[in-house]
Amino acid sequence: MDKTSAAQAPTKGRSLDHIGFEVKNLEAFCKQFEADGGQLESPFQDAPQVGLKWAFVVDPAGTRIELTEGFAGR
């Protein structure tokens, strides 16, 4: 595999805007993530009327990551 010296472009606003992961007990995960020094791009949100919870983070390479709870069962 060849390595490149070019910086990786962030995903936000591009063809691949973000990736997503389903997380059990997302609210507790977000609280622990922030307590450990992580930063949420958008805060934990809960929409009980549709049974969905979510938050977004951006990794050091600029990849936007959606964290959900309740999406997998749909």
* pLDDT tens by residue, the chain, 74 residues: 456 677 777 767 767 778 999 999 999 999 999 999 999 999 999 999 999 999 999 988 888 999 999 987 77
Q: Which pLDDT belongs to residue 3?
A: 61
Coil, helix or strand at residue 31: helix
Structural domains of the chain, ranges and CATH numbers in brackets: 19-69 (3.30.720.110)
Judging by beta carbons within 10 Å of its beta carbon (0-12, 13-18, 19+), is residue 32 exposed, middle or buried?
exposed
Q: Which pLDDT belongs to residue 38?
A: 95
Q: What is the pTM of this model?
A: 0.76
